[in-house]
Amino acid sequence: MPQRFRNKTISIIGLGYIGLPSAAAFASRGIRVVGVDVNQNTVDTINQGKVHIVEPELDMVVHAAVTEGYLRATTIPEPAEAFLIAVPTPFRDGHEPDLSFIEAASKSIAPVLKKGDLVILESTSPVGTTEQMASWLAEERPDLSFPQGSGENSDIRIAHCPERVLPGHVLRELVQNDRVVGGLTRQCSDAAVALYKIFVEGECIVTDARTAEMCKLTENASRDVAIAFANELSTICDKLDIDVWELIRLANRHPRVNILQPGPGVGGHCIAVDPWFIVHRAPSESRLIHTARIVNDEKPQWVEHKVVQAVTRVIREQKIGEHDVNVVCLGLAFKADIDDLRASPALEITKRLAMRYPGRVTAVEPNIDNLPESLSSLGVKLKEQDQAIEEAHVVALLVDHREFKDKNVLRNKDVALIDTRGIWMSAPRQL
């Protein structure tokens, strides 16, 4: 372990999908960690050695860290030598970045800051936010000096180091991924690198704070644009009666082509959000990034339209009433093999269909036990795959969960299929 943080305390502000795994990673290396969260339930759960989020192996690591006394949670910040801010950065109406959580977190740690401390912003942030955070801290603590005023001689070191981990693989990626570290000065970066080296095995690459902010936004915007290309291809191919999955497989045989997979839209709290932070700061220049957001955001509506067409066809061909048609949505999560329904296109499509066909929509989601209120209140039922398919007239395959990939239960069944993930290509009817 680097000498600099031996026997020191690290405080993580925000114990969510990034903060809690990071806290656990430091604590599991024998570092004293104080986790801070505004939610008392979260704090109580962690102090009992339990977790409030689903992430493979996190429960074990947190349990060990708490039992061995390295990790403790609280609602009120305490003095520490390094503070790591990992709070949400959503957007408001009009896709304007909402920095209020970062502002509140900065102001909450300001009273306990002391000379020599390091503050790192991990939250994905629009360009300029680290400098903004430094100003908030300086306003609260005029008795301390900060890099924006005192350069390398400042009392407090400040850096941005965006998280880049993939949900479902967080503990492994936290350790193995390279980290981009952008200090407000070189010594700020060096202090941050020394901190991350406690558990990061990937390379810590130093740049300035603005480039580090833009780097994270660029990574997610790049993926969003690539997915938008695949989604656009899927609607073009539908119109031209071409199998988009075969097309992409063939095009990807070219040594310099690597097209991603179409889906029902882009979900989660990262890829569908972060590109807007670029668009907001440089609207006239971000034409491609902006358009990709629109293409991906409109895909759920397109899928809904395909389901409606299928229902109409079934009614006509099977001579049944609209009130007798059973629509089954396979998958609700925002991507495969997770239980996270946040900002999920599959959830949005299921809701839209439930409003259109009240009482006729069934959901299958192997990773949850109960439907969210937003669906149960619309009369959606949650069923096992086999039973739901047995009663189905129209099936919308929305998430490529392993349970669906493993077993194509539609074989030999006369149902209309809208396969948004292209995993049941041999199904009897492809719309």
Examine the residue annotation and report whether 306 is marked as an active-site residue of this protein: no
Q: Which of residues 258-297 bind ligand SAJ (CB under 6 A)?
A: 260-261, 263, 266-268, 270-271
Q: Which of residues 107-126 bind ligand SAJ (CB under 6 A)?
A: 124
Contact (CB, 8 A) for 13 and 3: no
Task: Write down the least CB distance from residue 318 to ligand SAJ, Å.
Answer: 32
381-382 β-sheet, strand order: 381-382, 361-364, 327-330, 394-397, 416-419
Task: Write down the least CB distance from residue 53 to ligand SAJ, Å.
Answer: 13
Considering just the CA atoms, what is the radius of gyration of the chain in Å? Answer: 24
Task: Write down the least CB distance from residue 211 to ligand SAJ, Å.
Answer: 17
Q: Which of 204, 216, 299, 306 is catalytic?
A: 216
Task: Write down the least CB distance from residue 200 to ligand SAJ, Å.
Answer: 14
147/275 with CB nearer ligand SAJ: 275
Contact (CB, 8 A) for 321 and 360: no
x-marked contacts with ligand SAJ along 162-181 as a string, rule CB under 6 A: -xxxxx--------------
Q: Which long-range contacts (CB under 8 A, 24 or more apart) does 217-223 make?
A: 217/124, 217/126, 217/127, 217/274, 217/275, 217/277, 217/278, 218/278, 219/164, 220/124, 220/270, 220/271, 220/274, 220/275, 221/274, 221/275, 221/278, 221/289, 221/292, 223/260, 223/271
x-marked contacts with ligand SAJ along 69-108 as a string, rule CB under 6 A: ----------------------------------------
Tell whether residue 189 is a contact of ligand SAJ (CB under 6 A).
no
Q: Which of 270, 335, 351, 381 is catalytic?
A: 270
C-alpha count within 13 angstroms, C-beta hemisphere, residue 96:
4
Tell whether residue 47 is a contact of ligand SAJ (CB under 6 A).
no
117/224 with CB nearer ligand SAJ: 224
77/167 with CB nearer ligand SAJ: 167
Question: Which one of 59, 103, 155, 219 is in contact with ligand SAJ (CB under 6 A)?
Answer: 219
Contact (CB, 8 A) for 86 and 19: yes
Tell whether residue 367 is a contact of ligand SAJ (CB under 6 A).
no
Examine the residue annotation and report whether 239 is marked as an active-site residue of this protein: no
Tell whether residue 225 is a contact of ligand SAJ (CB under 6 A).
no
- Cα separation, 47 vs 34, in Å, equals 11
Tell whether residue 5 is a contact of ligand SAJ (CB under 6 A).
no
Contact (CB, 8 A) for 144 and 314: no
91, β-bridge pairs: 97
Task: Name the 3-class secondary structure at 246.
Answer: helix
Q: Count residues contacting ligand SAJ (CB under 6 A)?
A: 20
User: Which residues are annotated as catalytic?
Assistant: 216, 270
Instruction: Summarize as ranges the residues that interact with ligand SAJ (CB under 6 A).
Output: 124, 163-167, 219-220, 223, 227, 260-261, 263, 266-268, 270-271, 334-335
